[in-house]
Amino acid sequence: MNLYLNDPRRAALWEKHQARLQEALQAWHQRTYWYAYPEDPKAYGENAPSQGEAAFKAQLGRPFDRLRQPAERWLTSDEVSPYTREPLGIAYPQVSTAEALFRAQEALSQWRWVPYTERLGVLMESVERFSQHFFEVGHATMHTTGQAWMMAFQASGPHAADRAVEALAVAYQELSHIPPQARWVRDFGKVQAVVEKYFIPQPEGLSLHIGVSTFPVWNVLPGLYASLAVGSPVLMKPHPRAIYPIAIVVSLLQAVFEEYGLSPFIVQLLPDTSAEPITKQLAEHPLIRIIDYTGSTEFGEYIERLPGKITFLEKAGVNGVLIESVEDIEIVAKNLAFSASLYSGQMCTAPQNVYIPQEGVKTPQGNLSYEEVVAALTKAVEDLVSHPKAAPAILGALQHDTVAERIASLASSAPTVRRSPHPYTHPQYATARTLTPILAESPIPDEAFTKVEHFGPRLLFIAVESARRGLEILYQLAREKGMLSCAIYTTDPEFKLQATRLLSEAAVPLSFNFRGQVFINQSVAFSDFHGTGGNPAGNASFTDVSFIVKRFRWIGIRDCQQG
């Protein structure tokens, strides 16, 4: 019994990409250093940078006409460069949600019956073609999010592509470990029962992916490719201020689908504006069964309350750091200064609360006082953000005015401000929206402003009576508010053991003694899980098994042959 829509051209794609996908799955199992796409821009050829920049400039002020989907009207986006403060002026095709859902439902009837190996081959091919557009996507990300160039290139290019391949590798594992057919035989004395059994993976239904303004590709690709891999068409609803980067990816997917005899409507881009949003209309529709979302806790909780939806959410958390003992405070301070300043703190994994024992921090040379630790951290931040070359390469720009407003609110609510935030002058973009970190202080660990995320460039220094008390506060904060990253500095093996046990119980990803070129806000595909899904900061993890298997079901078909 062959239920599937086989195609020799798609089968050839599976043959082309199977070995690479198996290698990716092996890396996922081993959790060692491996990448599908190198992060060094030089790896993509001498002409790739200029071609990508030219493609970006050519797109500005023009309709994005690469999508293979109809347009009832052309919608000019809300996208404004955080560097030039000028609108990108790009228009995108828009149709009604009813029309998009109708086309997606039609595509579902085809895509769900494509053999999973052919689906994976087609999707791997799309990622390969995406790699030829990393530079354009990098510029598009830079001028929609405010990320500095190198971060924009790496995060939306090779790092995002790696996460896509990771999702496909885990999907390959989960779709392949159950045989498609089995003959069940049992003897009942003189009678033998024979049943042919078929095991058919079927998607839960249509997927909605709600994009975020700060990481419009990196945060989207894992869920996008996970849903597509299991046979679910995707309605991609990008953030109104960051459409262009993910529109490139959607256009490439549609082109590959069409080239290999499939409906381009297996994935559709549904842009909107802040003035006329469509997200709730889509999310509440009964045909939408799966929702991926990254963004605020308030909207995430609304998504979670919708009946009949399977959700994969990343919300806000309050990320903590505890300094118990160190070998060298200057090395630690430089590492934390970089982590707090990277992309002006506009990362879900950026550190915020730094807990420092009042009794001091142990070092081989003796105890450092609370004041000495704060002074070292303050100096490290000041040295970094005042460096004429390092500051623009690390801080980038603020995605939106609301980030500056949030930091201004923190400055007014904090009892003590050690370093006020202020703009810096970008050497290339004089009009860039910039802000250096605020360094605030709280002598009381449980003040209200220490229990909320202040998304933006910030560090909060919080005095605690002891390192053990600091550990208890981290545990409570993680259970109540959630954390996507947590760093502890200690040279004491027993304290490390206590911290590991306690924070594992709170489902917190924990980093010990990060220094040098390893930073707590980095999450590496094939080795690190991004998020745990076990605390209030989110209910999903990139990319564990549940990120895949909750999107589809195994259907058993039994055909009695004899008995």
Domain ranges of the chain: 8-315+541-562, 320-512
Residue 417 has pLDDT above 70, yes or no: yes
**At 312, which helix (H) or strand (E)?**
strand 310-314
Q: How confident is the model at residue 41 (pLDDT cuts 50, 70, 90)?
A: very high
Residue 369 has pLDDT above 90, yes or no: yes
* C-alpha to C-alpha distances, 296 to 213, 214, 300, 305, 535, nearest whole angstrom: 11, 12, 6, 15, 15
Task: Work out the percent of the chain whose per-residue pLDDT is above 90.
Answer: 96
Same-fold call for 8-315+541-562 versus 320-512: no
- CB neighbour burial string for 371-407, b if at least 16 within 10 angstroms, e if fewer: eebbebbbebbeebbeeeeebbebbbbbbbeebbebb
Residue 447 has pLDDT above 90, yes or no: no
Q: How confident is the model at residue 562 (pLDDT cuts 50, 70, 90)?
A: confident
Q: Are strands 510-512 and 206-210 parallel, antiparallel or unpaired?
A: unpaired
For residues 125-129, give the mean pLDDT.
Answer: 98
What pLDDT sits at residue 190? 86
- Spatial distance between the Cα atoms of 452 and 449, rounded to a whole number of angstroms: 6
Q: Are 170 and 223 in contact (CB under 8 A)?
A: no
Considering the chain, what is the average pLDDT of its residues?
Answer: 96
Residues linked to residue 460 through DSSP beta bridges, in sequence order: 353, 440
Residue 154 has pLDDT above 70, yes or no: yes
Tell me phi and psi for residue 552, to 5 degrees. -150, 170
- Spatial distance between the Cα atoms of 178 and 172, rounded to a whole number of angstroms: 11
Residues linked to residue 314 through DSSP beta bridges, in sequence order: 294, 538
Q: How confident is the model at residue 1 (pLDDT cuts 50, 70, 90)?
A: low
Q: What is the CATH number of domain 8-315+541-562?
A: 3.40.605.10
Q: Are 487 and 515 in contact (CB under 8 A)?
A: no
Q: What angle do CA 263, 265, 271 make, to 5 degrees?
A: 160
Q: How confident is the model at residue 3 (pLDDT cuts 50, 70, 90)?
A: confident
pLDDT per residue as tens digits for the range 157-189: 999 999 999 999 999 999 999 999 999 999 988
What counts of helices (H) and strands (E) characterise the chain? 18, 17
Tell me phi and psi for residue 285, to 5 degrees. -70, 135
- Comparing CA positions, the residue from 248, 292, 301, 293 lying closest to residue 126 is 248
Measured in Å, how far apart are the chain's first and last C-alpha atoms?
20
| R_g of the chain, CA atoms, integer Å | 25
Residue type, 236: M
Q: Are 367 and 361 in contact (CB under 8 A)?
A: yes
* DSSP character at residue 369: P
For residues 187-201, give the mean pLDDT.
Answer: 93
Task: Work out the percent of the chain whose per-residue pLDDT is above 70.
Answer: 100
- Comparing CA positions, the residue from 187, 192, 246 lying closest to residue 215 is 246
Residue 9 has pLDDT above 70, yes or no: yes
Q: Please give the CATH topology (third level) of the domain spanning 320-512.
A: Aldehyde Dehydrogenase; Chain A, domain 2 (3.40.309)
Sequence-distant (6+) residues with CB within 8 A of 71 are: 93, 94, 95
Q: What angle do CA 500, 162, 301 make, to 5 degrees?
A: 60
Question: Residue 499's CB: how many other CB atoms inside 10 A?
Answer: 25
For residues 88-111, give the mean pLDDT.
Answer: 97
Residue 449 has pLDDT above 90, yes or no: no
Q: Are 312 and 294 in contact (CB under 8 A)?
A: no
Residue 38 has pLDDT above 80, yes or no: yes
pLDDT per residue as tens digits for the range 300-359: 999 999 999 999 999 999 999 999 999 999 999 999 999 999 999 999 999 999 999 999
State the burial class of residue 465 (Cβ atoms within 10 Å of its Cβ: 0-12, 13-18, 19+): exposed
- Spatial distance between the Cα atoms of 64 and 62, rounded to a whole number of angstroms: 6
Residue 446 has pLDDT above 80, yes or no: no
The answer, yes or no, to whether the previous bond of 543 is cis (omega within 30 of 0) is: yes
What pLDDT sits at residue 444? 80
* C-alpha to C-alpha distances, 343 to 7, 56, 348, 458, nearest whole angstrom: 45, 21, 11, 11
Residue 198 has pLDDT above 90, yes or no: yes
* C-alpha 144 chain-centroid distance: 16
What pLDDT sits at residue 189? 84
Q: Are strands 191-203 and 552-562 parallel, antiparallel or unpaired?
A: antiparallel
